Amino acid sequence: MDWPLGMESNARRGSLYPSVCERPSEDARSMPTPENDPAAPQPPQSAAASGLPGEPLVPALRQVKAEAVNLKAGEAKGQEDEMVIVLQDPEHLAPQPAVLSPAAYALVQLFDGNRTAQEIADLFEQMYGQEVKTDQVLSLQRELDAALYLSSPHFDKTVREALTGYLKAKVRPASHAGTGYPEDPDELKKFVESFFGAKDAPGALPAGTLPPASSDRVKALMLPHIDFNAGMAAYAHGYKALLEASQADLFVILGVAHQAMSEAPFLVSKKDLSTPLRQVATERALAGRLQKAAGVEESLAEFAHKSEHSIEYQAVLLAALLGERAKRDFEVLPILCGSVEGFIESDASPLNDDAFKRFVEALGEELERSKRRVCVLASVDLSHIGPKFGHSTSIDEKLLKPVARADRQMLASIEKLDPAAFFFEIARTQNSRNVDAVMAMLALLSLGKDIFKQASLLHYDQFLEQPTKSAVTFASMSFE
């Protein structure tokens, strides 16, 4: 059985690695596993389990996300589409995705930390009727270990060194430059400008330095954090309102803690944010006090921000539009908001939670004492629906219509500036649409309860990802 291993050179895969290219037979794909069928072939007793000395154990595969992807065939005659399994690290500790054939993915499922390479090879042959050599198991182990997908001493050492360096640094690197947006400064400027000329966008910005905002009536904005290419119009409508009607010099960015290891409702960072255009300064003294008010260990709070895009995307747009185009000085206050799921499961509201109320009160008092012109940016998306997000139903254009109706009913409660009504819209469905905006919008509405006079929906949109039959919805809204 010939399984080429090593850095993948197939251009259709780009830079993804490592790979095992041979597909399993139909019998292999349908074979039961020991985990889900007691009648399936059982693994031999490992060297560790027997208590006898033996070969080293193969480290376990880390908790990663796996997605089946169809790679389109090239133009060469005889090429066919190829199914691969793409592994991604939800903690973003592995710097790149890894791509495996279905056969290699089946093999790596046996990497549980309790088996030797020989035991894995023997078990794979028992389960799938296909021979695999020990050195092939070891080769796959080496590549996955180098790519930081295994729970090994190499992984521990590499991550410990990286995190130690990150926690000591005063600046958060731009972790999505070159993937989420252009890394080249000139290309990034052109890219951001293109948002305003996109379909349904408000129109191109005037040339040259942008004029100062004519008023300071916009005190907060709901903005998306979806992929820039998918949300251009929504971003443009929100930032047009900011450029024209906010004179703020301090922006509180309420992002979403997608990968936080803490269950705390808020995580504050004191680090400045690097972008390809300029370094965005954080109001560190204020951030430091709020980090203490949040009651989260500093290392956990800072680590939650390390690869989080919801704050980085707003920092990039502020740098491009306020910094480069409007020539305005400003600082930010980066705050990630935690998950609402624990509250929903316990039939409780964050609005009645002591930690939530204490932090929002502390934030409001700090902003009042600062005497700064402040604008709060909630960097959030709305519904996340379809198989990619745990639903059994595939989403199409027809199904997006009732989702839009539900979203607009939810947005209407926000337009009424009523946090309790907004949370009711979430809780009555147990957040079945996976709205990630909940904690950030509750914080925004609570902060503005004596400030906001009205809210206006600027733009609502939906992005349907055809390959996964899943969708994300999002909006921009101003608060005055």
**Over the chain (480 residues), what is each successive 10-residue block's mean pLDDT?**
34 31 35 37 44 76 88 56 85 86 93 95 93 94 95 92 90 94 98 97 95 96 98 98 98 91 89 98 97 93 93 98 97 97 95 97 97 98 95 96 97 97 96 97 96 97 94 98
Retrieve residue 245's tokens: 């009607």
Is 2 among the domain residues?
A: no
Alpha-carbon distance of 413 to 455, in angstroms, equals 10
Residues 292 and 370 in one domain: yes
Predicted local distance difference test score (pLDDT) of residue 157:
92
pLDDT at 93: 84
Kindly state whether residues 143 and 108 are assigned to the same domain.
Answer: yes
Whether 3 is in a domain gets the answer: no
452: in domain: yes
- Which range marks the domain in which residue 280 is found? 169-479
3-state SS of the chain is: CCCCCCCCCCHHHCCCCCCCCCCCCHHHHHCCCCCCCCCCCCCCCCHHHHCCCCCCECCEECCCEEEEEEECCCCCCCCCCEEEEEEECCCCCCCCCEEECHHHHHHHCCCCCCCEHHHHHHHHHHHHCCCCCHHHHHHHHHHHHHCCCEECHHHHHHHHHHHHHHHHCCEECCCCECCCECCCHHHHHHHHHHHCCCCCCCCCCCCCCCCCCCCCCCCEEEECCCCCCCCHHHHHHHHHHHHHHCCCCEEEEEEECCCCCCCCCEEECCCEEECCCCEECECHHHHHHHHHHHCCCHHHHHHHHCCCHHHHHHHHHHHHHHHHHCCCCCEEEEEEECCCHHHHHCCCCHHHCHHHHHHHHHHHHHHHHHCCCEEEEEECCCCEECHHHCCCCCCCHHHHHHHHHHHHHHHHHHHCCCHHHHHHHHHCCCCCCCCCCHHHHHHHHHHCCCCCCCEEEEEEEEEEEHHHCEEEEEEEEEEC
Instruction: Report the pLDDT value the prediction gives residue 55, as an integer from 0 to 100.
Output: 82
| pTM confidence score | 0.80
157 within a domain of the structure (yes/no): yes
Residues 91 and 173 reside in one and the same domain: no
Q: Are residues 147 and 212 in the same domain?
A: no
CATH number at residue 258: 3.40.830.10
pLDDT of residue 49: 45
Instruction: Tell me, yes or no, whether 142 and 175 share the same domain.
Output: no
For residues 88 and 196, membership in a common domain is answered with: no
Name the domain boundary from 106, 135, 161: 161
Note whether 116 and 251 are same-domain residues. no
Cα separation values, 282 from 12, 176, 258, Å: 41, 19, 21
180 touches 308 (CB < 8 A): no
Task: Give yes or no: residues 73 and 202 share one domain.
Answer: no
Within a domain: residue 1?
Answer: no
Same domain, 104 and 211: no
Residues 6+ apart with CB under 8 A from 363: 252, 290, 293, 335, 443, 447
Last residue of a domain, one of 161, 195, 219: 161
Residue 5 in domain = no
Residue 115 lies in a domain: yes
pLDDT for residue 325: 97
Question: In this structure, are 378 and 232 located in the same domain?
Answer: yes
**Token code pair at residue 335:** 């705050």
Q: Is there a domain that residue 173 lies in?
A: yes
Using the 3D structure, point to which of 161, 189, 224 is the last residue of a domain.
161
CB hemisphere CA count around 162 (13 angstroms): 16
Residues 155, 208 within the same domain: no
Domain count, the chain: 2
Same domain flag for 193 and 156 = no
